[in-house]
Structure formats: C-alpha cells, structure tokens
C-alpha cells in the first residue's frame, strides 16, 4: 500500500478562554462519546477521489499528509507512506519528501506561483534542490516538462511570468512543477474548479495520461462528482469531518448507500433534466427520508415567462477594443469583442435571463463589463449601441457621460465571480450594505436604511444579526449572498452576473441559483448570466449567446442550444461537460 491513513483526527487550537485552551475538531467527530477519525488507503497506480462540500474536511485531510497545515493544528492517528510514519517525521524528513516523493497541485495557481519569479526559475528550483541538477540541466529539463504538459511554445514560456499566462496555462505550470521530480503520489486539490469546461477537460485528460506515464498514484480532491466520476478509481465521500461512504467509483455512482452521497449526485444541474428548482443537500436527504415513510414529494412548478415582456436592454453591434503597446511610442488596436466587425446584438426582456457562454478569452466578461462601462475610458474604443429602456425613455449606455452614469448605476448592478475579492474586508456587512444607499440617497435616514439592509439580508437567506460581522467570518456562498444583497439595495432592474456561482460547491451553488430565480420571480429582475458551465446556464437561462474569439457564433433558446446545436464549437463545449461515471467508459 502506497499511503494508508488510519483514524486521523485534526484539531485546531482556537485560543484560551478563562485559562482553558479551546479546540475545534476539523477532521474526525465525536460519536457516542468517542472521537472517530478518518481512515482510507491509496494503493499504487490508483486515483482516489476525496469528495464533499466546502468545510467537509477533505482539504485538511490531504494537507495533513505533508503537514502543510497552520501552526495551531494538531494531528492524531497514523499516516503511513511506504511504511514510513509521516506523523512522526521531522521537518527535514518532510522537506525531503515534499515535492520529490509527494507533490501537490492547488486550486488557485495564481496564489501558488511566485509572481516575481519566471516560470523557468520556479520549475528549476525543485530540480536543483531534489534532483541535484546543474542550472543548465534544470533549464533543459524544465523545457521538456512544459512540453510534456502540452504548453504551447515551451521555450518562450520559460521566461514568462505567471501573470502573463491564462488560468489553464498557469495550472499546466503547476502540474509540470509537481511532476518535475517524478513523485509517487500527486495530491490535486480542486485543480479544475475555476477553469472553463474545455480547459477543465484538457487538464483532466492530461493528469490521467501523466498518472499512467509516470506510474504514480493521485489523491484528487473535488466537490464535483461529474469530474470525479471521469478521473478516479475509488471515491471517499466526506461530510462534517467524517467519511460517509467509500468504494470503487462504479459502486458509488451505480449504487450509493449513504443518503448524503445520493444527495451529492443529484445536486448538480443537469444537461438532460431541467427542474423548476434545484434541490440542495438537506432537501435531498429529507426527500429520501420522506420517501421511506411513503410520503410523496410535491414537485415545484416553474413560473411561466411572458414572451412579450418589455425589453430592458437592446444591444446592437456592441464592440470593445483595447490599445496594446507597439514599439517604443506606438500602439495597435486589439478587438476583444466584435473582431470581424460583427458586434454582439441581443434583446433582454424584463424577468428574463440571457446566458452568455464560452471559453476563457471568448470575450464574454469583456462584453458584460463594456455594457457597464467598467473599463478605463482611455483603455480602448467602444462601438455599437446598448439602449436601456426605462420609464422615462430610451438611453444609450455607450454615449452616457460619467455624470450620467451615476443614476444609471442604481438600475444596472453587477455580481462578480470572486466574493472574497469583491467585498471590502475592512467594512462590516452593515457598512457594505449601507454605503450604496447613502451614496444614492435611498432612505430618509440611517435608521430607515438599516431596516432596509436587514430586510434584504433576510431576503437572501441570512440573519440580520450578521450586520456587525466582517466578510472573513463567512463562507464563499454566504459572501455571494451578501454581494447579491448589496446589489438589491439600489432597486436595480438588471443584474450582470459574471461567473457568480463558478467557485461555489454544488450544494451552495444550488442555493444561490434558487435564490436568483426566486428574486427574479418576485422583483421582475432581468439577468445577464455569464458562465462557462452549460448545465448551470441551461437551468437559469431563457436565451443563450455562445461566444468564441470575441464574436457570437450561436444564439437561440437554452433548449435549442443544448439539443440542436448548429456550430461545432457549441458541440465541443457541450461535449466537454463532465458527465460522471458511465458504464463502459474509462474512469
């Protein structure tokens, strides 16, 4: 057995209260008065997936193997790697194992790669340290590694810095670095979560190929059972610090035993079915218990959309360019949206959702930000029209002055992808919600604004008592709810949602998507929903734009796009969506 974990328990010291040290148990739980830990094995040449929601303990379990945990963590139990006890290993022993025998690929490559060193310098470091290579040998091997992971122009990329690469390219660099010393075990912690479906497909296929080529094992951490079903041999399902179920991937997908596993499998939006509401984990478990009692569940019915609802935004031939440096004093125009002169055109109706899908670099986010005029005005020219139809008449958003945009900001709001970066860490939740109302003069006084803020927190499923808390005290899903509440403070008519659920685990994602549908039904909001996830887009959208290289290649209803795609590019996007384990398909 390559790696064996027995009765692992991880606690974090939380500080002393009344002279007594407080501890929080992150992995393992107290069951019937006894502490129960986590136990599983990783055989040689095998991919074992650790699956669960955020906070289930899967990443803490994996980071315990090499003790990559904060200094206040305490580990108990046994972790054996090729017969060596890693819990008893000294720091020098662990440092000799890290990178050489056990390597890691983390979720966010931009925070894992050093921004001040080139890719070549970072690849050479483990080769020189662990493999004893000279700088010249390490540089040559680094180029070979980049070629092996499918990096275009590997020789040129050695001198590039991380910020000069796309997310997929950064993740390839991380994989190349992890494989540089031919490790026996690769720990991959959510390596494909924030990538678009085609890049995700490439990274999954690359990791599976390299696993076979290098004869190594992989511990693959994910919350997405669609991805897990395609890449793993065995699955370990965790919740609240305990293992709920484990077994071969075929058994977990064909005949799951634990209600939580069944709920996880059913939680993700589907390309084949489109319910009125997504059931979250607790809903599924409650429904299973009710079914066992012989009770029937009442299916939610989708609210019918008015096909003749008034148009809120009408875009015609929308284009956006950026100036790029050319020579010492010159510059050239790069067309990010509308590259062949054919800009983006669409009509967005009240209470409807326009989905915008495409790979990274397709121009979908640029189009959304251009619509909101959130790019620097001297960054490059904008063309076309985007007419906002309000009660007082039509307004072309592309020609509005800076002063004219201030009242328009009330009516068109944006929710960004990363709720960790879009909320001010120095503001309490109350300050975050009150500030836009104070700027735009909403509410007669602070007391009235505060009551409105509390009511909005209730509307998005949060308790009003969180007004005094700071963003770091919340999970990603809760922060995204705060970001949505902040938008609603201004009574907007349109929300632009830029990858607003892509970084959330499946259950939290389902909660936020249901919330968005409820708010749309109640308030008549119109959404521009930008995403790379076609299953999510199908659930929430009425019409879909498919973008590639800055242009719209296909535009139709969500059902038409999924069932009768006209373009090869659209078919490739649909084909790249992880389908999970299927009988007869390779894991």
Q: Would you list the DSSP string of 411-458?
A: TEEEE-S-HHHHS-TTS-HHHHHHHHHHHTT-SSSHHHHHHHHHHHHH
23 secondary structure, DSSP code: E
- Residue 466 sits in the same domain as residue 480: yes
Of 426, 461, 494, the position where a domain reaches its end is 494
Q: For the CA atoms of 188, 419, 367, 361, what is the dihedral angle to 10 degrees?
A: -10
List the alpha helices (DSSP H) in 298-400.
364-371
In-domain check, residue 531: yes
What is the phi-psi region of residue 240: left when phi exceeds 0, alpha when psi lies from -120 to 50, beta otherwise? left
Q: Are 232 and 186 in contact (CB under 8 A)?
A: no
Mean pLDDT, all residues of the chain = 86
**Owner of token pair 């315990």:** 64
In-domain check, residue 309: no
**Residues near 34 by beta carbon (within 8 Å), at least 6 away in sequence:** none
- Residue 53 sits in the same domain as residue 187: yes
In-domain check, residue 470: yes
* Phi/psi of residue 267, nearest 5 degrees: -80, -30
- β-partners of residue 325 are 331
What is the structure's pLDDT at 583? 55
Neighbour-count burial of 431, counting CB atoms closer than 10 A to its CB (0-12 exposed, 13-18 middle, 19+ buried): middle
Of 494, 520, 552, the position where a domain reaches its end is 494
pLDDT digits (tens, 9 = 90+) for 550-583: 889 999 998 899 889 999 999 988 888 777 776 5
- β-partners of residue 245 are 237
* Phi/psi of residue 335, nearest 5 degrees: -85, 105
- Alpha carbon distance 543, 560 (integer Å): 9
What tokens does 547 get? 């973008």
What tokens does 132 get? 């004893």
- Residue 436 sits in the same domain as residue 512: no
- Alpha carbon distance 422, 453 (integer Å): 18
Query: Using alpha carbons only, what angle is made at residue 87 by residues 83 and 91, rounded to the nearest 5 degrees?
Result: 105
- Residue 165 sits in the same domain as residue 257: yes
- Residue 118 sits in the same domain as residue 232: yes
Of 456, 479, 494, the position where a domain reaches its end is 494
- Residue 508 sits in the same domain as residue 486: no
Residue 76 CA: distances (Å) to CA of 2, 10, 12, 350 = 20, 6, 12, 57
374 secondary structure, DSSP code: -
In-domain check, residue 394: no
210 secondary structure, DSSP code: H
- Residue 490 sits in the same domain as residue 549: no
What is the structure's pLDDT at 276? 79
- Residue 447 sits in the same domain as residue 538: no
Q: What is the pTM of this model?
A: 0.81
How many domains is the chain built from? 3
CATH number (domain holding residue 257): 3.40.50.300
- β-partners of residue 576 are none
Q: Are 51 and 59 in contact (CB under 8 A)?
A: no
- β-partners of residue 347 are 314
Q: Are 554 and 548 in contact (CB under 8 A)?
A: no
- Residue 105 sits in the same domain as residue 135: yes
**Which residues of the chain carry a pLDDT beneath 50?**
584, 586-587
- Residue 453 sits in the same domain as residue 469: yes
- Residue 368 sits in the same domain as residue 509: yes
- Closest of 64, 9, 65 to residue 241, by C-alpha: 9
Listing DSSP states for 481-505 in one string gives HHHHHHHHTT--SEEEEESTTTTS-
In-domain check, residue 149: yes
What tokens does 334 get? 């790069």
Q: DSSP 3-state helix, strand, coil percentages of the chain (rounded to 5)? A: 40, 25, 35
In-domain check, residue 144: yes
- Closest of 1, 53, 2 to residue 186, by C-alpha: 2
What is the structure's pLDDT at 200? 78
Kind of pairing, strands 3-17 and 73-81? antiparallel
- Closest of 536, 545, 541 to residue 505, by C-alpha: 536
- Domain of residue 557 covers 322-378+499-577
- Residue 238 sits in the same domain as residue 90: yes
In-domain check, residue 34: no
In-domain check, residue 549: yes
**Residues near 25 by beta carbon (within 8 Å), at least 6 away in sequence:** 9, 10, 11, 35, 241
- For helices 446-459 and 476-488, angle between their N-to-C axes, nearest 10 degrees: 130
Q: Are 488 and 474 in contact (CB under 8 A)?
A: no
């Amino acid at each position: 057995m390559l790696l064996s974990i027995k009765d692992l328990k991880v606690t974090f010291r939380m500080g002393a209260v009344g002279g007594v040290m407080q501890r929080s148990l992150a992995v393992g739980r107290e069951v019937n008065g006894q502490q129960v830990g986590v136990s599983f094995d990783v055989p040689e040449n095998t991919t074992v997936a650790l699956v669960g929601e955020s906070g289930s303990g899967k990443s803490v379990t994996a980071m315990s193997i090499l003790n990559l945990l904060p200094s206040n963590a305490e580990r108990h139990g046994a972790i054996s790697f090729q017969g060596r006890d890693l819990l008893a290993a000294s720091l020098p022993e662990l440092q000799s194992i890290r990178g050489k025998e056990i390597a890691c690929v983390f979720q966010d490559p931009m925070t894992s790669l050093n921004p001040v060193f080139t890719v070549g310098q970072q690849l050479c470091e483990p080769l020189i340290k662990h493999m004893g290579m000279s700088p010249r040998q390490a540089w040559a091997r680094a180029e070979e590694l980049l070629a092996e992971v499918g990096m275009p122009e590997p020789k040129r990329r050695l001198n590039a810095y991380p910020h000069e690469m796309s997310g997929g390219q950064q993740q390839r660099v991380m994989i190349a670095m992890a494989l540089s010393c031919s490790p026996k075990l690769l720990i991959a912690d959510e390596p494909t979560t924030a990538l678009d479906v085609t890049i995700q497909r490439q990274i999954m296929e690359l990791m599976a190929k390299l696993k076979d080529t290098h004869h190594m094992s992989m511990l693959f951490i994910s919350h997405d059972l669609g991805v897990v079903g395609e890449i793993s041999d065995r699955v370990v399902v965790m919740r609240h610090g305990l293992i709920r179920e484990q077994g071969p991937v075929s058994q977990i997908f064909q005949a799951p035993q634990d209600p939580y596993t069944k709920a996880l499998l059913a939680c993700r939006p589907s390309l084949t079915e489109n319910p009125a509401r997504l059931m979250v984990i607790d809903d599924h478990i409650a429904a299973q218990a009710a079914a066992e009692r012989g009770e029937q569940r009442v299916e939610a019915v989708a609210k019918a959309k008015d096909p003749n609802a008034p148009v809120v935004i009408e875009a015609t031939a929308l284009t956006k360019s950026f100036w790029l440096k050319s020579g010492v004093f010159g510059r050239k125009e790069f067309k990010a949206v509308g590259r062949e002169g054919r800009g983006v055109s669409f009509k967005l109706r009240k209470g409807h959702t326009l989905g915008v899908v495409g790979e990274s670099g397709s121009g979908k986010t640029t189009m959304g930000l251009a619509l909101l005029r959130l790019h620097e005005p001297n960054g490059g020219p904008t063309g076309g029209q985007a007419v906002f139809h309000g009660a007082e008449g039509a307004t072309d958003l592309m020609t509005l002055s800076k002063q004219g945009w201030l009242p328009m900001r009330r009516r068109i709001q944006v929710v960004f992808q990363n709720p960790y970066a879009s909320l001010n860490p120095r503001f309490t939740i109350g300050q975050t919600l009150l500030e836009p109302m104070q700027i735009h003069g909403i509410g007669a006084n602070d007391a009235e604004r505060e009551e409105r803020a509390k009511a909005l927190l209730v509307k998005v499923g949060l308790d009003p008592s969180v007004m005094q808390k700071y963003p770091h005290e919340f999970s990603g899903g809760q922060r995204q709810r705060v970001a949505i509440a902040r938008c609603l403070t201004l009574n907007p008519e349109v929300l632009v949602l830029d990858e607003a659920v892509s970084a959330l685990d499946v259950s939290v994602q389902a909660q936020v998507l249901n919330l968005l549908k409820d708010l749309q039904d109640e308030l008549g909001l119109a959404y521009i929903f930008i995403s790379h996830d076609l299953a999510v887009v199908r659930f929430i959208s009425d019409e879909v734009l498919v973008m590639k290289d800055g242009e719209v290649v296909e535009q139709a209803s969500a059902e038409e796009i999924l069932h009768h795609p006209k373009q090869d590019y659209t078919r490739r996007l649909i084909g790249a969506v992880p389908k999970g384990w299927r009988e007869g398909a390779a894991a």
